[in-house]
Amino acid sequence: MKQRSALGRRPPSLRTLVLVGATAFAPLAHADIGVPMVAIFLPPMWLSLVPVVLLEAWILRRMLSLPIGTALRSSTIGNVLTTIIGVPLVWLALAFLEGTCCGGAAGLTTFGQKVYAVTIQSPWLIPYEKDLSWMIPAAMAVLVIPFFIVTVAIEGFVNRRVLANADPKRVWKATWVANAWSYLLIVMLAWPAFLIAGKMGRWVIIDWFIGAVFASWKLIHG
């Protein structure tokens, strides 16, 4: 019980987080370890990968007058790199920083404490169970900002490489516009799914991921 309570107060170390990817199975999550927001945003990103690739390819084709094959190739490479590497690494870095300096439970008594809980502590939410219904969307709104910046940076770099003959300024503008629409699409697809899952009480993916983190932490610390 002491181990689980300690994890509830502070997100685990970087070493623990890295091992999550290697954990094949874990029991259902314990409520007192908080919510790693990677478990919230990665599933809709994975599920919407194909429509996002198609949407961004269409926008790149229209804005840069590209052949459809070229637009699809650039969009596919950029989105795969973003989904598999870019966004997860950004979350990992933010969660590590939170666990290093800001992982303690400060409470939700004042307005300032509530803001702190969903901004500075947005990567790994402290387990205030009764308030997670508003904390999760608030934290997601905060995390979208760094995710969007990194996504545009990665996909802009890919687009510049693949579309070497296009005007750089137009490529970056098209990348920004395409990602603005794709993030909107992800929210539109994810929000109804989360509402349904929440009402049914079946947060299976989130439970699995949190359980994987907890199992990895136990493996390291005994």
Would the pLDDT of 11 be above 80? Answer: no
Q: What is the pLDDT of residue 102?
A: 87
Nearest to 161 by CA among 55, 70, 56: 70
- CB-based burial of residue 165 (10 Å sphere; 0-12 exposed, 13-18 middle, 19+ buried)? exposed
Q: What is the pLDDT of residue 67?
A: 94
pTM over 0.85: no
Q: Distance between CA atoms of 13 and 217, rounded to whole angstroms?
A: 9
Residue pair 5/32 in contact by the 8 Å Cβ criterion: yes
Q: What is the pLDDT of residue 198?
A: 54
- Write out pLDDT tens, residues 185-213: 887 776 665 665 555 444 555 666 666 65
Would the pLDDT of 15 be above 70? Answer: no
* Percent of the chain predicted with pLDDT > 70: 70
Higher-pLDDT residue of 101, 219: 101
